[in-house]
Amino acid sequence: MTPNSKATLNFADGTPSIEFPIYKGSVGPDVIDIRKLYGGTGKFTFDPGFMSTAACESKITYIDGDKGELLYRGYPIEQLAVNCDYLETCYLLLNGELPDATQKKDFEHRVTNHTMVHEQMTRFFQGFRRDAHPMAVLVGCVGALSAFYHDSLDIQNPEHRRISAIRLIAKMPTLVAMAYKYSVGQPFMYPKNDLSYSANFMRMMFGTPCAEYVPNPVLVRALDRILILHADHEQNASTSTVRLAGSSGANPFACIAAGIATLWGPAHGGANEACLVMLGDIQKQGGLPKIGEFIAQVKDKNSNVKLMGFGHRVYKNYDPRAKLMRETCYEVLNELGLQDDPMFKLAMALEKIALEDEYFVSRKLYPNVDFYSGIVQKALGIPTDLFTCIFALARTVGWIAQWTEMIAEPDQKIGRPRQLFTGAPRRDVTPIGQR
Ligand code: SDX
């Protein structure tokens, strides 16, 4: 990074002014390098939600929130979703370039041959209640994976990083499908090497040993596109967690488990599940005629009700993934003869009303990736509480690509933010008899 201009900070309290270099990215906002602020002034910046903070330099994903643009390694998500499949997108995110036919075939072969998990992993599931939330199971099992790969935990070794990335991308579908099978009391299905990544997942989810399961190519393609749309998204909460965990030198399986835990929150990856629950509640209260009442609740600050699947920290325009998700939703419902799916109709009506309502327009609240993803996943037969596991499955490549980029940083340091302390200053303990 070479400074292309500078910023001067002047203080009214007599602190000497200080200059900072400003760096320009290839696209997007410039950054002010404040790393010497504390040493030069004894002061910190204060930015609790990281609203104005760039925590790292990255070459992986770029979002233009005002334009509603999302690029993976420079390629628009709209083009990748139509012209590539998920493993091709994984290769791009990990390596920076799209694979040629040979590279793609080799990458698919490597991933396919790591899709099984250690047979002892099956015992982890026995410890969970059948009705455990699958995200709880996934956090536990992914964290436990590190116990099986002592041969590749040296994160400074590029080959160890590469094999860990392959293992995580390959095994997430197997673990997610196992979590689902365990919840419904069906036997685990082993992966089949002659199926594509997404077809393999569909078979492990919906196949049984009793009959041959032939995945529907339209539904497989829809799932594959859902995975592409969720693959990476710059420095979102779960990715920032993975980077922070990785900065301590923790192994990649532990870091991804931390990312899964963060994604679970309803403000983040849990929003697709929360959105479907929200649509179901409106449906129960009477459906379309009740939308006005619901919107009024959302606008009432005391209700604490949010329009799940709407709004975004970065997108102040339509999330490009939401548009693609709505198209995919339409394709799947058509393929399944569910064009009149009441939930889809309710969602489209809700979206239309919200996009015309001053409350949402003034706050630049648009549908995000989670608004339609629940409806299409439900149509695919995926249970609501598994939606965020699918999100985690898809995002694993983004997390591991960002983790790898951070580890490879020459001046990588452990992340250790400071604070504005407003608690009790120093005081002495009073003996209990005098308290
Ligand atoms: C994801 O970061 C990423 O990139 C995440 C993600 C990814 O791919 O990794 O894109 C995935 O997490 C998508 C977001 C999914 N979450 C939801 O759909 C949950 C509902 N959305 C909100 O919780 C909220 O919009 C956030 C958390 C997504 C963003 O919150 P911000 O940026 O902190 O914005 P804010 O809460 O300050 O909202 C600004 C205003 C507030 O009103 P005022 O105080 O100005 O009056 O908008 C209101 C908020 O109350 N608002 C909403 C709303 N979202 C924001 N009001 C009603 N419904 C909503 N959904």
- Predicted confidence at residue 152, as pLDDT, reads 86
Mean pLDDT of 275-289: 94
Please name the residues in contact with 323: beta carbons below 8 A apart, sequence gap of 6 or more.
none
pLDDT in tens, 395-405: 999 999 999 99
66 Cα–ligand 1 center, Å:
15
Provide the pLDDT for residue 151. Answer: 85
Sign of CA dihedral 389, 393, 398, 399: positive
- 4: pLDDT strictly greater than 90: no
DSSP-derived letter for residue 314 is S
* Residue 153 confidence class, pLDDT cut points 50, 70, 90: confident
Instruction: Dump pLDDT digits (tens) for 88-142.
Output: 999 999 999 999 999 999 999 999 999 999 999 999 999 999 999 999 999 999 9
pLDDT the model gives residue 289: 93
Q: Between the CA of residue 141 and those of 126, 175, 178, what are the distances in Å?
A: 12, 8, 10
Strand order in the sheet with 61-64: 61-64, 69-72, 75-76
Amino acid at 391: F
Residues in Cβ contact with 180 at an 8 Å cutoff, skipping those fewer than 6 apart: 134, 205, 383, 386, 389
Report CA(314)–ligand 1 centroid distance (Å).
9
The residue whose two tokens read 């399944």 is 336
Nearest CA to ligand 1 atom 41: 363
Closest residue by Cα to atom 43, ligand 1, is 363
Reported confidence tier of residue 174, pLDDT bands at 50, 70, 90? very high
Neighbour-count burial of 213, counting CB atoms closer than 10 A to its CB (0-12 exposed, 13-18 middle, 19+ buried)? middle
| DSSP characters over 170-208 | HHHHHHHHHHHHHHHTPPPPPP-TTS-HHHHHHHHHH-B
Q: Is the pLDDT of residue 2 over 80?
A: no
The protein residue with its alpha carbon nearest to ligand 1, atom 13, reads 268
Mean pLDDT (the chain, rounded): 95
Task: From residue 177, give the alpha-carbon distance in Å to each of 125, 395, 398.
Answer: 12, 16, 20
pLDDT tens sequence across 350-366: 999 988 999 999 999 99
Alpha helices in 213-270 (DSSP H): 217-229, 237-247, 252-263
* 316 CA to centre of ligand 1 in angstroms: 10
The terminus-to-terminus CA distance of the chain in angstroms comes to 57
Residue whose Cα lies nearest atom 55 of ligand 1: it is: 311
- Closest-CA residue, ligand 1 atom 18, reads 309
pLDDT over 90 for what percent of the chain? 92
Residues 248-277, mean pLDDT to the nearest whole number: 95
**What is the CA(220)–ligand 1 centre distance, in A?**
30
Residue nearest to atom 1 of ligand 1 (CA): 268
> Of all atoms in ligand 1, which is nearest to the CA of residue 371?
18
Among 234, 263, 268, say which to mutate for ligand 1: greatest number of ligand atoms within 8 Å of CB. 268
> Quick one: which atom of ligand 1 is closest to the CA of 368?
13
Pocket of ligand 1 (CB under 6 A): 233, 236, 267-269, 271, 298, 306-314, 363, 365, 368-370
In 3-state terms, what secondary structure has residue 37? helix
Q: How far is CA 287 from CA 56, 104, 156, 278, 372, in A?
A: 45, 46, 55, 11, 17
Q: Which residue of 363, 390, 397 sits with most ligand 1 atoms within 8 Å of its CB, as the best mutation to test the pocket?
A: 363
If you average pLDDT over residues 396-424, what whole number do you get? 95
Closest CA to 57 of 8, 24, 98: 24
Show which residues are catalytic: 312, 370
Closest ligand 1 atom, residue 313 Cα: 32
How many Å lie between the centroid of ligand 1 and the Cα of residue 271? 10
242 pLDDT higher than 80? yes
- The pLDDT tens digits of the residues spanning 20-51 come to 999 999 999 999 999 999 999 999 999 999 99
- Average pLDDT (373-401) is 95
CA of 294 to the centre of ligand 1 (A): 17
